[in-house]
Structure 1
Amino acid sequence: MSDYIRLEGLEFYGYHGALVEEKELGQRFIIDLELEIDLKEAGRTDQLDKTINYAKVYQTVKKVVEGEAYDLIESVAEEIADRLLTDYSMLKGVLIRVKKPEVPIPGVLDWVEVEIERDNKS
């Protein structure tokens, strides 16, 4: 059995994209996270140090999305996964979704999304 903490719909403004205009103007990015962690001890003891402080997780994601500009949202997702797995040793794995609503595609769509799943062994 697995336990999860989910943070969904985190919105940030960043400068990621392959086009010059995307790097200059920036745009919104929406992030969904699924953090796999054993929550049994946290649930039994009601102690924050037995789980992951999701306010700190939010700040980690914010630093990545609002920080260094990447050409690909795949790279944004990978950097988020890497930092979370490095910073929080109790994580078993993460699932990261990066959504880009304002894509430069001549058509109607809600967003383009990349989803990656990583564990603490990779």
Structure 2
Amino acid sequence: MGRILLENIKLFGFHGCLPEEKYIGSHYTINIEVELDFCKASVDDDLSKTINYVDLYYIVKEEMNINSKLIEHLAQRIIKRIKKYKKPLIKYTKVKICKENPPLQGNVDRVCVILDD
């Protein structure tokens, strides 16, 4: 077994329940972790026997362009897309999404959700 990690993907999106979040938007940081058996890929040097991390990045980017009220919902959509992408290879998927500078009445750098499947 092995893991592919995409760390600190920085994207902009329009997610949230407050009206201003749908117009102003916010910066997000996303981390993806995918566990799979890439023993054959490591021996054969064959991309078709693993997951292309460029494709993972584009899945995240595309889902970020679809507005959600909750980042929990966004995380679930990303996991579903990743699992569908290479279903038999993937054993475990974890997504962490952080909204930078959330609209709270206090000094908070970010708020994050973590979802795994």
Q: TM-score, normalised by structure 1?
A: 0.91
Give matches, 1:36-75, under 5 Å: 36-66=35-65, 68-75=66-73
More strand by share: 2
Aligned to 2:83: 85
Aligned to 1:76: 74
Taking the aligned partners of 2:19 and 2:5, their CA distance within structure 1 comes to: 33
Shift of 1:45: 0.7
Shift of 1:108: 1.7
Indicate the RMSD between aligned Cα atoms, in angstroms. Answer: 0.9
Count of matched residue positions in the alignment of Structure 1 and Structure 2: 116
- Point out 4+ residue stretches in structure 1 off by more than 4 angstroms: none
Q: Percent identity?
A: 34
What do residues 93-122 of structure 1 show as CA deviations (whole Å, max 9, x unaligned)? Answer: 10000000121112222210000111xxxx
Letter in 2 for 1:17: G
Q: TM-score, normalised by structure 2?
A: 0.95
Aligned to 2:26: 27
Aligned to 1:115: 114
Taking the aligned partners of 2:29 and 2:74, their CA distance within structure 1 comes to: 11
Aligned to 2:97: 98
What do residues 27-66 of structure 1 show as CA deviations (whole Å, max 9, x unaligned)? Answer: 1111000001111111111111111010011001100012
Are 2:102 and 2:109, in contact at CA under 8 Å, matched by a contact in 1? Answer: no
Are 2:101 and 2:108, in contact at CA under 8 Å, matched by a contact in 1? Answer: no
Structure 1: gaps (5+ residues): none
> SS at the partner of 1:16?
coil
